[in-house]
Structure 1
Amino acid sequence: MTTTTPPTATTPPTATPRNAATTHNAATPRDAELERLVRQAPHRFRVLTGDRPTGRLHLGHYFGTLQGRVRLQDAGVDTFVVVADYQVLTDRDVAERLTEHVEDLVLDYLAAGIDPERSTVFAHSALPALNQLLLPFLSLVSVAELGRNPTVKDEIAHSRQASVSGLMFTYPVHQAADILFCKANLVPVGQDQLPHLEVTRTVARRFNERYGQGGAVFPEPEALLSAAPLLLGTDGKKMSKSRGNAIALSDTADETARLIKGARTDAVRRITYDPATRPEVSSLVLLAALCQGRAPHEVAEETGDGGAAALKRTVTEAVNEHFAPLRARRAQYAQDRAYVRQTLRTGNERAAALAEATLTEVRTAMGTLY
């Protein structure tokens, strides 16, 4: 199989490392600079992104990440999308209905516009060479460093497991292997994932210092923060597959209407857009605005004194109209499961070739290529 030459093992041009402890409520000037660099020279970037196959993707995923992935792909950035099937086990005792969830995830990708001819969609478990990178990578970070990771602490606190597994504790190093095997130098993330990416940067830097012999084996990838605001679930909390408060991309128009009708609002009749004091109402206003390509304040003003019922009608119509083409594409792809599986097999082959090449480079640098 033909593979492309990866970007050189450097950070993106004129990169300024982002402080993982800094709070980001929206995209920063550095993100704007990265976007400019991507437009100017997309061939200088390789992106790694992905999801755990724990259920169908929802509207929060679409506006938070999927749109951005398709945009980067369409700009000409070499895009890798990992179906992180092994990582399902980080907070679960077993991976239930995994095959179904993997195929559903690929269906959502295809329907959203991920093109297998321009993006590489692959499964974590299909790349043995990727997983071999974990051993040397784990030797580059301390137990104390992993224990201080705020994202790991939060994941442990909300774990479904009776006790903390080694897989959960070393989760950031697994993500480092996912990112570095293909030498991705740009990673779209949310604010909560910045500590994980800092572990990846640390692993890359320490490997280069210890084994690079004056050259960089791995890039120190940079974060590209999304400017997309947070969409709340129907219960007013963070939209999540596991909480049962999400509207899935694959939901029908009737299912969508039912879910939005039951969404939490407040007792104030006049609709305004004020996320700080009216988060549930404002999230519905924002959802309608995103679907219609309008400003949230405009949607709120138009709804006015119509109250929650009028707002929910507007949101339902906006969501169903916006996602009708995506849902039609998904239904069409779902009729050809062989194509879905072939998409994954083709991506697995390309990703495996890169993982083998990277592992060989790592073994050569470490002096373990016998």
Structure 2
Amino acid sequence: MAALAAAPTQPTETGAPAMTLVTPAAADTAAAAPTPSRMLTGDRPTGRLHLGHYFGTLHNRVRLQDAGVETFLIIADYQVLTDRDVAEHLAEHVEDLVLDYLAAGIDPARTTVFTHSAVPALNQLLLPFLSLVSVAELQRNPTVKDEIAHSRQSTVSGLMFTYPAHQAADILFCKADVVPVGQDQLPHLEVTRTIARRFNDRYGRVFPEPEALLSAAPLVLGTDGTKMSKSRGNAIALSATADETAKLIRRATTDADRTITYDPDRRPGVSGLLLLAAHCLGRAPEDIAAEIGDAGAARLKALVTEVVNEHFAPLRARRADLARDRAYLHGILREGNARANEIADRTLREVRTAMGMDYGV
């Protein structure tokens, strides 16, 4: 993965190699690396993807796919249950994810799209992986802490604590060596690297230690000035209509200062809207703020509504066309599940052999 290298993070345990943070610009060279790269990423099917997903990771997935990197997209349906008692409307949400992927530019001829529950060998990796991490390591994972804080459950399930190890199985079953993530997901990826390293040290080298591909985009904020999230009710869906988008942006949190400035710490609501406009226009948020000046929040919201709707109009049109053929979506999943099962079965056989569990059966 030398062709993707960028500045490393600090190691999290004594003697452990630091994780490399790959920049989006460096990702364009991935296809020229001596050994073709393999990327895995994905989403829980809890609802339609939103603008935060798009600017945070989805456009990077398309970039790597188009650069020739072998790409896997997991729809993590089992993991819906980490913070929910039941998985409501699951089939609908799975189809919505496939639609969002395709509309954004994911090509099923070059990217394997599959569902978590359809790959038994992947999930079986969770057992040996859990033996390689302590309860304390799982408990202090900051991403798990944040998920627990926003959980819909009155108690925390065991699945919530095993979430990082389950994600390690998702990534390592196909031996992915690069994973597009948001900044908030770095602790999960560090657990994956730790599990891979410890397995290799204990049983012999089987797994790579995957690197993080960080988006150049800062954290995209929701309409309330906090992280955009489906569960927090502050998200603008990729599939939202122009009218729905306008309504959500009109309700967005701003402040009483009429002069528009980009100051994420003091003015998160205003700055979040400026950042959305900046992503859509390919400009600096400070420049957009200067142009609006004293025109106030109403002008800011009108501008953001206009540029968001213009930017995503082609994606929304493609999505509407694809939604007319549900059989096509199901066919993509069937083919993707078959491909993922072939790879997972092969990896599980390697794991059993390395662990001395190959009994000739």
* Fold similarity call, TM over 0.5: yes
- Secondary structure of the residue aligned to 1:242 is helix
Corresponding residue for residue 191 of structure 2: 199
CA RMSD, Structure 1 to Structure 2 (Å): 2.2
What is the distance in 2 between the residues matched to 1:182 and 1:11? Answer: 20
What is the distance in 2 between the residues matched to 1:348 and 1:240? Answer: 28
What is the distance in 2 between the residues matched to 1:290 and 1:42? Answer: 33
Question: Which AA in structure 1 matches 2:310?
Answer: E
Corresponding residue for residue 289 of structure 1: 278
Q: What does 1:1-370 correspond to in 2, within 5 Å? A: 18-19=9-10, 30-32=21-23, 34-35=26-27, 37-38=29-30, 40-41=32-33, 44-212=36-204, 216-370=205-359
Q: With structure 2 as the length reference, what TM-score do the two structures score?
A: 0.92
Question: Which AA in structure 1 matches 2:183?
Answer: Q
What is the distance in 1 between the residues matched to 2:150 and 2:34? Answer: 38
What is the distance in 2 between the residues matched to 1:142 and 1:72? Answer: 34
Question: Which AA in structure 2 matches 1:331?
Answer: A
Unaligned stretches of 5+ in structure 2? 14-18
In the TM superposition, what is the alpha-carbon distance from 1:190 to its structure 2 partner?
1.9
In the TM superposition, what is the alpha-carbon distance from 1:240 to its structure 2 partner?
1.0
User: For 1:198-223, what per-residue CA distance to the aligned partner results, in whole angstroms no more than 9, with x for missing partners?
Assistant: 111111111111211xxx21001111
Contact 2:83 2:151 survives alignment (8 Å): yes
Contact 1:49 1:188 survives alignment (8 Å): yes
In the TM superposition, what is the alpha-carbon distance from 1:287 to its structure 2 partner?
0.9
What is the distance in 1 between the residues matched to 2:20 and 2:350? Answer: 35
User: For 1:95-126, what per-residue CA distance to the aligned partner results, in whole angstroms no more than 9, with x for missing partners?
Assistant: 11100001001100000001101111110000
Aligned residues: 353
Query: 1 or 2 for the larger relative contact order (CA 8 Å, sep ≥6)?
Result: 1
Contact 1:83 1:102 survives alignment (8 Å): yes
Corresponding residue for residue 25 of structure 1: none
What is the distance in 1 between the residues matched to 2:168 and 2:177? Answer: 12
Gap change, CA 1:147 and 1:76, over 3 Å in 2: same
What is the distance in 1 between the residues matched to 2:326 and 2:258? Answer: 47
Contact 2:5 2:21 survives alignment (8 Å): no
% same residue: 74
What is the distance in 2 between the residues matched to 1:291 and 1:176? Answer: 33
In the TM superposition, what is the alpha-carbon distance from 1:13 to its structure 2 partner?
7.3
- Secondary structure of the residue aligned to 1:368 is coil
Gap change, CA 1:17 and 1:221, over 3 Å in 2: farther
- Secondary structure of the residue aligned to 2:114 is strand
Question: Which AA in structure 1 matches 2:210?
Answer: P
- 297-306 or 336-345, which deviates more: 297-306
Runs (4+) off by over 6 Å? 10-16
What is the distance in 2 between the residues matched to 1:349 and 1:109? Answer: 19
Gap change, CA 1:118 and 1:147, over 3 Å in 2: same
Q: With structure 1 as the length reference, what TM-score do the two structures score?
A: 0.90
Gap change, CA 1:294 and 1:257, over 3 Å in 2: same
Question: Which AA in structure 2 matches 1:96?
Answer: E
Corresponding residue for residue 5 of structure 1: none
Question: Which AA in structure 2 matches 1:259?
Answer: L
- Secondary structure of the residue aligned to 2:137 is helix
In the TM superposition, what is the alpha-carbon distance from 1:323 to its structure 2 partner?
0.4
Question: Which AA in structure 1 matches 2:9?
Answer: R
